[in-house]
Amino acid sequence: MKKEILLVEDEKAIQLLISYNLEKLKYKTIIKETAEEGLEFLEMNESLPQIIITDVLLPGMNGINFCKLVKSNPSMSHIPVIILSSVDFDFYREGAEKAGADYFLTKPFRIKDFINLIQNLLS
């Protein structure tokens, strides 16, 4: 069975960029455009994804609070969360760290670094 990665991102181009590169590695990407939809997916699905990747600036709830909710739920807290931020202020990094995020990647990011990170997390 393909390993699943949940991507919460509202930008279509970034959705395609990430899903294309993950598909090449034979990983399945589940795309949700808002944190609320991401939470609904996590709550409704029996099998949880191996990794969660989330943007910060989303319509509705932001990615940091989404991460906080994931990490505060004992059944999901083990899932590594990568925050993909288009804003690189210390404040955001601190917020992500406090929310329990495992990695903080700033856009633009190198695809090579991104893939290495995913492979390390899944190995």
Partner 1 sequence: MNYSKKNNFFEILNNEGKNFDMIIVTDSGGVIKLYNNVLSQLCNSANKDEILLQEINLNQLFKSDEQTINDIINELHKSNIIEGKLDFALSYNQRIPLDYKAYKISEDLESQFNFIFIFKFSEISDIERDPLEQEPFLRRLNKSDEITNNDYSVLSLDELERLKEDFLSNVSHELRTPLASIIGFTETLKSDPNLPKDILLEFLDIILNEGKRLAATINDLLDVSQLYKGQLTLQKKVIEIQSILKGVYERYKPLANNINLAISLPEKPCFILADDSKFTQAIGNLVSNALKFTPEGGSIDIILKSSNKYFTIEIKDTGLGIPKNEIDKIFDRFYKINRPGLETRGVGLGLAITKKIIEQHNFQIEVESEENKGSIFRIIIPNKS
The contact set with partner 1 (CB under 8 A) reads 10-14, 16-17, 20-21, 24, 33-34, 36, 56-60, 62, 64-65, 68-69, 72, 86-89, 91-92, 95, 98, 106-112
Residues 6+ apart with CB under 8 A from 106: 85, 86, 88
Longest dimension (CA), the chain: 39
Nearer to partner 1, 78 or 110 (CB): 110
Nearer to partner 1, 33 or 49 (CB): 33
Please name every residue paired with 32 in a beta bridge, in sequence order, or none if there are none: 8
CA gap 18, 24 in Å, rounded: 10
Minimum distance, C-beta of residue 67 to partner 1, in the bound complex (Å): 11
